Amino acid sequence: MSDVTVLAQQLREGQVAQRQRAAEQLAQSGEDASVAAVELVQAAGDEEQVREWAVAALEQLGPPPTAAIRQLCGLTAHENELVGYWAVTLLGRLGPAAVTAVSALTDTLQHSPHQAVRQRAAWALGQVGDGSAPVIAALTRAAGAEDPRLARLATQALAQLQ
Amino acid sequence: MAYPKSGANSKSAATRPRTKRKGRSVFSRFAWLIWTLVTSGSVAGWMISDIPVVGPVVEDFVASGSVKDVESLTSVVSQSPALASLTSELLHRLADSAAPSKAGAAAAPTSGARLQKPPDTIRIGSYNIQVFGTGKLGKPAVVDVLVQLVRHCDIVAIQEIRSKDDTVLPQFVAAVNADGSRYDFAIGPRLGRTVSTEQYAFVYDTDRIELDRSSVGTIVDTNDLLHREPFVARFRARVGQVGTPFSFWLINIHTDPDEVASEIDVLADVFQVMQTARPDEDDVILLGDLNASDQQLGRLGQVPGITCVVTGITTNTRRTKMYDNLLFQRFATTEFTGRWGVVDVQAVFGLTLEQALEVSDHLPIWAEFRAYESPPVSNTARRPDRSWQ
């Protein structure tokens, strides 16, 4: 197993201190940490000392492997706001390669209880660039939202789809 | 809109470059960007003094200003295996690592003695200390590297303080002051759209720099255009021997890596708003982790006369990307001496890449300025600044 794979396993199965250390080392791995994208997204819902390093790793790992799309889609509706936020963010980073995630992203945009997650879903849909009718309809509704950031991001996404 | 009290003007409107007169209309256009005083207790560093250094090992380690004591070093190393090779000699090899051609070398710190700093210039730095919290404070060798880096600057804009613990920065500043230095700090509120938040801070040497305490604030961003709204404060040099002390705004920023382009554009507005924040202040320096190179500055790069200090060199520890920079208007901030640098922490402290990454995934950057006001390009007389009295 590669170092990153080992760290991903520690992040899944280790005790808190081990999970923290694994997250920290992944945060120092730059884009190499993308192999552990799913584990890092899940760790965003962990205890603070693990979470903060996981978030640091997520901020800089770039797009995740496409093989992670299915699992990330499953995390977009996670009850933990930060887990959903990062699942959506990583899908958005994949751009058109995440076309199979459009349904999950659209659902997240419409139904997530978390404002920051809905906002990121609007952004992600613009990045993916799938202009199918359900996406357009969801973004159009979001563009009329009272939340100025959601409305702006949805409007920008619609422009990207045209 | 809540501006700070302007006090007596030090720089008349006539001294400000003509282009800056456009600032008022710019301000009107971007009325959503206002800034307000931040008054909570956690913000004012001077309100939390004498916070002890973490644990006796660190206390001894830092208080000595060096690693003379082998036993202490052993204790430190045992807590931080990744820094096992750190030695006393290496700890004191801090010199300015080079930005090619412009940056010069500075005196290396001396063991147990305060640095001798030049009387007529000040050094302003910026440092993203990745996930700066209790975990990092618990690594004495890492703290010592950070301490020595900070001591080489008169002001450091810090990004990425991530902790629920309000004592992180006071503890760190206490460590900086363990050699008799008198640094203080101003820290901003926790910022972010989720439960994961960050704070900005300015750490500054009170022997050489004054903070205009009424100026400390966070940009208010009612339309939520920026993930982590900039933290701003106005400072003034107190070391100049000639003329009016150099005063300036600092805008501390850490952009969202997924929305860099749009946030950089908004920073152009922030910059121009801050130019108009006080009629007596023409020097505005934006610094921090832009997540963008000098070639990716969008509208910010189109602000008239804007100058990037860091060019042609990477600023991350892996030496693959340029993320960090300082920017100002060259015809206004003529106090810039042309000297700047990116401190190669790995090389300067003799660390492995792994050890350097344990300190941060970013490198500190710095620029040097004259300690007294230099005339702007449109050279006119200046009135004395009484707002600090």
* Cα dihedral across residues B359, B134, A60, B251: positive or negative: negative
Say which of B164, B258, B354 has its CB closest to residue A89.
B258
Check CB contact of B81 with chain A, cutoff 8 Å. no
Inside any domain, residue B380: no
Domain encompassing residue B337: 14-370
CATH number, domain containing residue B107: 3.60.10.10
| Nearest Cα residue in chain B from A50 | B135
Which CATH number does A1-62 carry?
Answer: 1.25.10
Query: Cβ contacts (< 8 Å) between B261 and chain A: which residues?
Result: none
Whole-angstrom distance, CA of residue B125 vs CA of residue B288: 9
Q: If you search the block for the tokens 């860099």, which residue do you land on?
A: B260
Query: Structure tokens of A50?
Result: 């693990």
Inside any domain, residue B207: yes
The alpha carbon of residue B372 is apart from the nearest alpha carbon of chain A, in Å, by 39
Query: Cβ contacts (< 8 Å) between A78 and chain B: which residues?
Result: none
Residues paired with B324 in a beta bridge: B289
Inside any domain, residue B110: yes
User: Residue B91: what pLDDT?
Assistant: 33
User: Residue A100: what pLDDT?
Assistant: 98
Phi-psi region at A148: left, alpha or beta (left = phi > 0; alpha = psi -120 to 50): alpha
| Total domains present in chain B | 1
- Domains A1-62 and A66-162 alike in fold: yes
Q: Give the N- to C-terminal CA distance of chain A in Å, as an integer.
A: 44
Which CATH number does A66-162 carry?
Answer: 1.25.10.10
How does DSSP assign B281-344, residue by residue? ---EEEEEE-SS-TT--TTGGGSTTEEES--SS--BTTSS---EEEEEETTT-TTEEEEEEE--
| Among A residues 61-100, those touching chain B with beta carbons less than 8 Å apart | 81-82, 85, 89, 92-93
| Nearest one of B282, B284, B280 to B384, comparing CA atoms | B280
Neighbour count for residue B119 (Cβ, 10 Å): 11
Say which of A59, A93, A116 has its CB closest to residue B194.
A116
The alpha carbon of residue A1 is apart from the nearest alpha carbon of chain B, in Å, by 20
| Among B residues 158-187, those touching chain A with beta carbons less than 8 Å apart | 160, 162-164
The alpha carbon of residue A9 is apart from the nearest alpha carbon of chain B, in Å, by 20
Check CB contact of A28 with chain B, cutoff 8 Å. yes
- A94-105 residue pLDDT tens: 999 999 999 999
Query: Structure tokens of B228?
Result: 């982590």
Check CB contact of B50 with chain A, cutoff 8 Å. no
Q: Which are the contacts of B300, defined by CB distance < 8 A and separation ≥ 6?
A: B264, B265, B267, B268, B271, B286, B306, B327
- Rounded (5°) CA angle B251-B47-B149: 50
Sequence spans of domains, chain A: 1-62, 66-162
Query: Cβ contacts (< 8 Å) between B164 and chain A: which residues?
Result: 48
pLDDT higher than threshold 50 for residue A85: yes
User: Residue A1: what pLDDT?
Assistant: 52
Contact yes or no for A149 and B224 at CB 8 A: yes
User: Residue B376: what pLDDT?
Assistant: 78
Contact yes or no for A28 and B193 at CB 8 A: no
Query: Structure tokens of B359?
Result: 């300190």
Inside any domain, residue B292: yes
| Nearest one of B64, B160, B42, B41 to B110, comparing CA atoms | B64
Whole-angstrom distance, CA of residue A17 vs CA of residue A7: 13
Contact yes or no for B131 and A24 at CB 8 A: yes
B352 within 8 A of B317, measured Cβ to Cβ: no
Q: Per residue of chain B (389 residues), give pLDDT as tens.
A: 222 323 323 333 222 322 233 333 443 344 445 443 332 223 332 222 222 212 222 222 223 332 222 222 222 222 333 332 332 333 333 333 433 333 333 333 334 578 889 989 999 999 999 999 999 999 999 999 999 999 999 999 999 999 999 999 999 999 999 999 999 999 999 999 999 999 999 999 999 999 999 999 999 999 999 999 999 999 999 986 678 999 999 999 999 999 999 999 999 999 999 999 999 999 999 999 999 999 999 999 999 999 999 999 999 999 999 999 999 999 999 999 999 999 999 999 999 999 999 999 999 999 999 999 988 775 343 343 444 43
The alpha carbon of residue B309 is apart from the nearest alpha carbon of chain A, in Å, by 24
Inside any domain, residue B5: no
Distances (CA, A) of B221 to B28, B35, B193, B242, B269: 14, 8, 13, 39, 11
B165, B166, B170, B171 alpha-carbon torsion, rounded to 10°: -10
Query: Cβ contacts (< 8 Å) between A81 and chain B: which residues?
Result: 194-195
User: Residue B241: what pLDDT?
Assistant: 67
Say which of A52, A85, A93 has its CB closest to residue B131.
A52
Check CB contact of B381 with chain A, cutoff 8 Å. no
User: Residue B289: what pLDDT?
Assistant: 98
User: Residue B114: what pLDDT?
Assistant: 82
Q: Which are the contacts of B270, defined by CB distance < 8 A and separation ≥ 6?
A: B33, B219, B226, B230, B251, B253, B286
ipTM of the complex: 0.94
The alpha carbon of residue B15 is apart from the nearest alpha carbon of chain A, in Å, by 39
Check CB contact of B33 with chain A, cutoff 8 Å. no
Inside any domain, residue B56: yes
The radius of gyration computed from the CA coordinates of chain A, to the nearest angstrom, equals 16
Whole-angstrom distance, CA of residue B317 vs CA of residue B168: 23
- A105-157 residue pLDDT tens: 999 999 999 999 999 999 999 999 999 999 999 999 999 999 999 999 999 99
Contact yes or no for A149 and B223 at CB 8 A: yes
